[in-house]
A and B are shown apart, each in its own frame.
Chain A
Amino acid sequence: MLCILTACNKGGEEKPAAGPSCVGEWQLTNVAVKSVTYAGQEVDVYVAFQEGGSFELYQMVGQGRYRKYTGTWNLDGTVLSGKYSSKKDWGSSYEVSQDGDKLVLTSSVSGEVDTYKKTTIPESVKSTAYKE
C-alpha cells in the first residue's frame, strides 16, 4: 500500500506491479449510477494525472468548447482526492481501481462509477480548450 501511495504521488520512483496507478492520460468512457447513464447528453472528459501531483481536466458537457481545469491530486491508498487550482475541493473523492488500461473511479459521495480508458489527449482538445 505504501508503494502505491508513493508511486502516485511522486514521479521518478518505481511503480508497483499491481494496484491502481492513476498517472497518465485518461478518457471517460462510461458514467453509471444504479444503471443510470447520461445517454441523452454528450459528455466527453479527458483527465491527465501528472506524476508531480498536478492534473489537467478537459471536459465538454453537452455542447460547446472543451473547458480546461487544473489543480492537484492525491492518492491515499485507493482513495483519490484533489483540489482545483481555485483551491476548491473536487465534488467528491473516489475509490480507485485499475484494470490494465481501465481506471474506475467510484464516488464516495454518490456511488457514481466513472470509467476511464487510457488514451492520449488529442492535441486539438488541448489547444482549443477554454481555461476556466
Chain B
Amino acid sequence: MKNIAVYSIIALSLCVSCAKVAEVTAIEQNDSTSQLATKAVNSVKEASQDNFLVKFEKTPSSEELTSLKGVKSVSPLFTALNQNEELEKRFGLDLWYVVELENGVSLDAAAETAASLSCVSRIEFNTIAQKPDCAVHPVREGDFPPTKASQEDFKIFNDPQFSNQWHYINIGDMAISKTVYAGGDISVKDAWANATCGDASVIVCVVDEGVKWSHPDLIDNMWTNKGEIADNGIDDDGNGYIDDVHGYNFVDRGAISWTKKGDGGHGTHTGGTIGAVNNNGIGVVGVAGGSGKGDGVRLMSAQIFSGDGGGSVAQVANAIKYAADNGASLISCSFGYPAGTFNSDGAYRSHGGAEYDAMLYFNNKKNNNAISGGIIIYSSGNNGAAYAGYPGALENVISVSALGPDYLPTYYTNYGPGCKIAAPGGEVGQPVPSGGYSNRAQVLSTYPSELDPNGGEYAYMQGTSMACPHVTGVAALGIAYALKLGKTYTVDEFNSMIVSSAKDIDARINTVGSKNLVYASGNPYMTMKLSEYYHNMGSGCIDAWSLMMKIEGVPCSLIATGSSQWVDLSPYFGTASTSLTYTGFEMSESAKETLGLVGEPELKHGRLYLHATKIGSAKVTINAIGGGDAIGTETTIGGMAISREISIITRGFTSTTGGWL
C-alpha cells in the first residue's frame, strides 16, 4: 500500500511549472508489524522531523504524558476553549497532542516508543505540504477598460473591472475566447438584484495563503476580531491567539503575511472572489461582496501556507478549528491531496486523523442562525484525473471542478467520482480571433501588489482553486439570504441545496464533442475529447439564483388527478435533474392515501411519476447523488447524498404551464 503525503495548492496555468501540481510523492508504507505500523495513520516521509502527533485513548494523565521518551514537550494540538469544551470532546479534539522531540532524537524511534503505549490510539506524522510555482497574470486598474457594449450588463455595480469578470456575467465576449458561451457563468446577477449581495454577519474563512487584508478592495470586508488589539503582543480576547485581528498565520505563528519569497497571492485571489468589496468604484467584484453599503460577507484569513512552507496536518487542523471557534460559517479550501492519493473515503478517514476530526468539529459548530453548523468547500484538484482529490472527495464535503468561459470542462480539472459541482475556474489556451489566447479567459480577482513589479493589485489566475471560491461565495449568499428570510437548515439540508442548485453542463458537452487549446503563438496545444466528462462534472454548474429560489421555497407541484402524471424535478435538483442518479424516495402511507394513489410512485428519467385519484396535498422526499453514480463509502470514492422534499397539490385539472388557471 502506498500513502501520498503531499499537499498542493492548486492554481496552475498552461505552463510547465504548474503542470507539476500533478506530481505526487509515493511513499512506501512501513511493512513491519510493529505497534507503529498499526497506529500510524500516515508515513514519516514528507513530514516534520521535529515533532509528530498522537491521539490518546482518553484524556492522558500526567504520568502517561511523561512516559513518552525523548521528547522536549508534549502539548495539546488544539487550543481549547471553555465555551466549546463539549464539542471538542465529542470529536476527540482534546485527545490530540503534539510531541516535540529533543534535538538528535530519531523521529522513527520516538514514534515507535509512543506507539507502544497502550494509552496512545493513533500516531500521525506531521506531514509537510508542498506547493507548486504558479503563474499569475497581474493587471492594474484600467488595463482593460470596459466596453460600452458591456456597460448595461454590469451596471449593478460600479467596479471598473467588473466587466472583465465573465465568470459572474458571461455575455459571450469573443475577445476572451472564440468559443465563449454566453450564460456560462454562475447566474449571480439575478441573485444580487432580487435577493441579496451579502451579510456582514456571515464570516467566511479562507484557509489558504495569507489574505492581504489591507488590499483596498478587501479591507472593508475583512473580518475583524473586535476583542483583539493589533500588534500589542497580547492575546487580548483569550482565544488562544495573539494579535489575530483579521485571522492568524498558523505557519509562522503570528501576523498574516503575503510577501515572503514563494508566496503567490493565492489566498488574496481566492478571498477576493468570495468577498472583494462591491460597488466601491475600484477594481473587481466579489460574489458575496455586498452592495457597497457595508453588507459584504466578512473574510477571515487562516494562513496555512507561508512562502515556501506550511501546510502541515497540524496547521491545517488548527486553522479549521480556529475558523469554527471564531465565528466562520464556511471554509473555502483551495488545496488538497492530489487525485489518486486516496481511493476511498475510508482510506482518507483512516489517514486524515486530526484534520478530519477538525472538519467534523467545524461541521457541527453553529455560527449563525440559519445553519446548524459549518459548510466545507474544497477544490477538486488540477490533476486532470477522473476522480477528485481528497479531502474534497469526502462524501460530506463539497468539492468543485472547473469550467472555462466556453462553459466546458477545463483541461486541468479533476472530474468524475468525488466531484460534487462545477464552477468557472478559467482556462488559458482558448483561442481568440486575433490569434493565440487571452489571459482574460482566466478568473480575475484581487492580488497583492507587492508581488507584481508593476504594482498590479489584480490578477488573472486559473484552477479549481479559483472555481472553489465561486461556490463558497454563492453558499455565503445563500446563508445571507436565509438569514434575511428567517429560514433555518441543517448542514445536510444546506449542502443538498447547494449541490442541487446547478445548471446542466452535459447538453453542451454532448453537443460540442471536443475542444481545442492553443499556445500563445496560436499553434495547437491539445484537443480535448469531452465525452469522458459527460455526467462527470458533479451536478452541473453552480447557479446562484437557483439557490436563492430554493431558499425562498420551491412552490408546490400541481398535478392533475385521474391519470399518471409526472413531477418536474428541476426546481428541486437543477436543470441537470434528468441525468442525476436517484436512489429512491420516501412517501408516507398516509400521504399516499391522501392522494389516493394508484400503484406506487416511480422515479424514472429524472421525473417522479404518480397516479392520484384524490384532490389534496402531500410531501415526498427524493434522494439523489450529487456527483457520480454512487455515494462515497469506506471502500469507494463517490458523490454526496442529497435529498429534497417536494410538495404536491393534486387538482381535478392543471395547465401545462403550472399556472393556476
Contacts and interface: CB of A to CB of B under 8 A. Distances in A.
B29 interface: no
B615 A33 contact: yes
Given A61-B555, A62-B553, A90 B647 contact: no
Contact of A90 (B554, B555, B649, B655): B655
Contacts of A41: 556, 617, 647, 649
Contacts of A14: none
Given A91-B653, A109-B652, A57 B616 contact: no
A106 to B, nearest CB: 11
A3 B15 CA distance: 79
Given A36-B615, A41-B617, A128-B194, A61 B660 contact: yes
B349 interface: no
A110 B651 contact: yes
B549 interface: yes
A88 B653 CA distance: 14
B657 interface: yes
A21 interface: no
Contact of B649 (A38, A84, A110): A38
Contacts of B647: 41, 62-63
B555 A60 contact: yes
Given A63-B554, A64-B554, A110 B653 contact: yes
B552 A64 contact: yes
B659 interface: yes
Interface in B21-35: none
Task: Provide the main secondary structure of the chain B interface.
Answer: loop
A65 interface: yes
B661 A82 contact: yes
B558 interface: yes
A46 to B, nearest CB: 10
A11 interface: no
Interface in B534-577: 549, 552-556, 558, 560-561
B656 interface: yes
Contacts of B553: 62-64
A40 interface: yes
Contact of B555 (A38, A40, A67, A109): A67
B104 interface: no
Contacts of A45: 660
B549 A65 contact: yes
Nearest to A110: B652
A51 interface: no
Contacts of B552: 63-65
A35 B654 CA distance: 19
B558 A61 contact: yes
B658 interface: yes
Interface in A84-125: 84, 86, 88-92, 107, 109-112
A45 B558 CA distance: 14
A48 interface: no
A47 interface: yes
A132 B652 contact: no
A88 B657 contact: yes
A111 B652 contact: yes
Nearest to A39: B617
Contact of A91 (B555, B616, B655): B655
A84 B558 contact: no
Given A36-B615, A128-B194, A59 B651 contact: no
A90 B549 contact: no
Contacts of B659: 57, 59, 67, 69, 84, 90-91, 132
Nearest to B195: A65
Interface in B631-661: 647, 649, 651-661
Nearest to B615: A36
B617 A91 contact: no
A69 B659 CA distance: 7
A61 B617 CA distance: 11
Contact of A132 (B194, B556, B558, B658): B658
Interface in A8-29: 28
A128 to B, nearest CB: 7
A45 B655 CA distance: 15
A100 B561 CA distance: 33
A88 B194 CA distance: 28
Contacts of B657: 69, 84, 86, 88, 132
A90 B617 CA distance: 21
A59 B660 contact: yes
Given A63-B552, A63-B555, A84-B659, A112 B649 contact: no
Interface string B400-416: 00000000000000000
A62 B645 CA distance: 13
Nearest to B655: A91
A100 to B, nearest CB: 22
Interface in A39-89: 40-41, 43, 45, 47, 55, 57, 59-65, 67, 69, 82, 84, 86, 88-89
Interface string B372-407: 000000000000000000000000000000000000
A86 B656 CA distance: 10
A103 B659 CA distance: 18
Contacts of B653: 91-92, 107, 109-110, 112
Interface of A: 28, 33, 36, 38, 40-41, 43, 45, 47, 55, 57, 59-65, 67, 69, 82, 84, 86, 88-92, 107, 109-112, 128, 130, 132
Given A47-B660, A59-B660, A84-B657, 9 more contacts: A43-B649, A47-B661, A62-B555, A62-B556, A62-B617, A63-B554, A67-B555, A92-B661, A112-B651
